[in-house]
Structure 1
Amino acid sequence: MTIIKGISALQENVNFLKNNGKTIGFVPTMGALHDGHISLITASKAENDITVCSIFVNPTQFNDPKDFEKYPITIEADIEKLELAGTNILFLPSVTEMYPDGFDKVPHYDLGVIETILEGKFRPGHFQGVCQIVHKLLKAVQPHNLYMGQKDYQQCMVINRLIQIENLGVKLHTRPTLREKDGLAMSSRNMRLNEEERKNALTIYRVLNYLKDHIEKESIAYLLDRSNLMLTDNNFRPDYVSIADAETLVPVENWDGHQKIVALIAAYQNEVRLIDNMALD
């Protein structure tokens, strides 16, 4: 695996590969890698000649500075995992490499309603930061295919919007959420959970399954009230529990049995904020 820290060196390598007919798959990450990330590497390797992974903890997408400070950094372990997975190139830039002019001249993207609801509502500016760094990375890597995990359901929708409005010419592949054996969605933030918090964290998965099992039996208002109660009874502070249209994330009040819908949850276990989702139809 080749490790590259500069944009110009990365583009020189990628252009050489593309000029020789190689297809490029790209997996952007913030490190603290787990098997969910590696599944994206595996998918890219199966569908492309060359797989590029980036590790960059992006300051502009953290609306809470404490969350940024506490984000786990495990670079040596990450490199080992990427090498074992057969990654071709690791792009490992610095903050000054990605933001040479600082944070005052970053672009603003017209994302529409999608950045005003759910994650957008509770993390103001988050999706603008996500788009700022993903746009920079896509311009640097210039891949044919982009791979992201479905656990960040709304983020995948935002990135699709970014690709459209900026005409970036890359295809987004959304891969299923990988879970631990007990059902907890794999997440870098799980590293911050203590033993008791880790045990309680499974409640989110139980709530999602409860919603899936009862969506045809109870009203949505009742299901949401019950879900919030299940979370608070297990020491969670919910930001939201939502049952929404799977394509727009507009909340659904009455389900006709045919509309594609998804349940989405964001909640704090003490200081650690966890998110998850599940298709209900």
Structure 2
Amino acid sequence: MFIFKKVGDLDEYLQKRRADGDKIGFVPTMGALHEGHISLVARCKADGVLSVCSIFVNPTQFNDKNDLARYPVSTEADMELLLRAGCDVLFLPDVSEIYPGGEDKAPVYDFGYLDTILEGAQRPGHFKGVGQVVARLLQIVRPQKLYMGQKDYQQCMVVRRLLQIMGTDTELEICPIIREADGLAMSSRNRRLTEPQRTLAGIIYQCLVSIQAKQGTDNFALVRKECEELLRAKGLTPEYVSLADARDLRLLDNYEHNTLMVALIAARMGDIRLIDNILL
């Protein structure tokens, strides 16, 4: 695995690989890697493209600076995971490489209503930062394929819109959620859960399965109320339990037959924020 910290060095290497006819697959991460991230690298390998992974904790997407300070960093362990996964290239930039003119000079992209609902409403400014860092990384790596996980479903929709705004031909591949045995979606934040909290956190997935199972029998408002009560009973504070059109994230008041839908949940366990979703 080749490791680069400077944009110029990475660009020189990737230009040589392009000249050799290689296509590039890109997996952007903020580190604290788990099997969900590794599944994205595996998808690169399966697609026969050069696997480029980045680790960069982007300061502009944290609306809560305390959350940034608490974000887990485990670079050495991350590198070991990527080596075992057969990752071809790791990009480890610092802030000055990503934002050479300063964070306040990065362009701002308009994502419309996607920036005002669900995660956008709960984390003001978050998607502004996501757009800035993903756009910059795409300009650096110039991949044919971009691999992201379904767990951050709204982020995937934002990035899809970003690709349209940028006019790039990069293809977004949204890959399935990788789950623990009890259904909890793998997340870097899970490692901050205490053992008792971790035992209870699987209730989020149980709620999603319930939403999925009751789509032909119950009104969604009733199902949402049941889920919110169940989450609270297990010590979580729900921020939203929502249903949306999976194609454009248009929020739905009730189940719509013959529509591909997505159920989304965000809840806090103490000061740890967890999100998950399931396609219906």
Pick the TM interval, shorter chain: over 0.9
What secondary structure is seen at the aligned counterpart in 2 of 1:265? strand
Mark the runs of 5 or more structure 2 residues left unpaired by the alignment: none
What secondary structure is seen at the aligned counterpart in 2 of 1:25? strand
The answer (yes or no) to whether the contact 2:243–2:254 under 8 Å persists in 1 is no
146-155 or 47-56, which moves further after superposition?
Answer: 47-56
The answer (yes or no) to whether the contact 1:24–1:48 under 8 Å persists in 2 is no
Partner residue, 1:84: 84
Partner residue, 1:186: 186
Q: How is 1:95-174 mapped onto 2 (pairs within 5 angstroms)?
A: 95-174=95-174
Displacement of 1:48 in angstroms is 3.1
Displacement of 1:257 in angstroms is 2.0
| Distance in 2, Cα, partners of 1:133 & 1:248 | 22
| Distance in 2, Cα, partners of 1:150 & 1:183 | 14
The amino acid that maps onto 2:127 is F
Partner residue, 1:54: 54
What secondary structure is seen at the aligned counterpart in 2 of 1:104? helix
The amino acid that maps onto 1:2 is F
| Distance in 2, Cα, partners of 1:76 & 1:182 | 28
| Distance in 2, Cα, partners of 1:103 & 1:215 | 44
Q: CA RMSD for the aligned pairs?
A: 0.9
TM-score (norm 1): 0.98
Partner residue, 1:272: 272
| Distance in 2, Cα, partners of 1:10 & 1:113 | 35
Q: How is 1:29-68 mapped onto 2 (pairs within 5 angstroms)?
A: 29-68=29-68
1:94 aligns with 2:94: yes
Percent identical among aligned pairs is 50
- Change in Cα spacing, 1:256 to 1:92, as seen in structure 2 (3 Å) is closer
Displacement of 1:248 in angstroms is 2.1
1:220 aligns with 2:232: no
Displacement of 1:254 in angstroms is 3.0
What secondary structure is seen at the aligned counterpart in 2 of 1:180? coil
1:20 aligns with 2:20: yes
Partner residue, 1:237: 237
| Distance in 2, Cα, partners of 1:48 & 1:141 | 17
Displacement of 1:148 in angstroms is 0.4
158-167 or 103-112, which moves further after superposition?
Answer: 103-112
> Runs in 1 of length 4+ with deviation above 4 angstroms?
none
User: How many matched pairs?
Assistant: 280
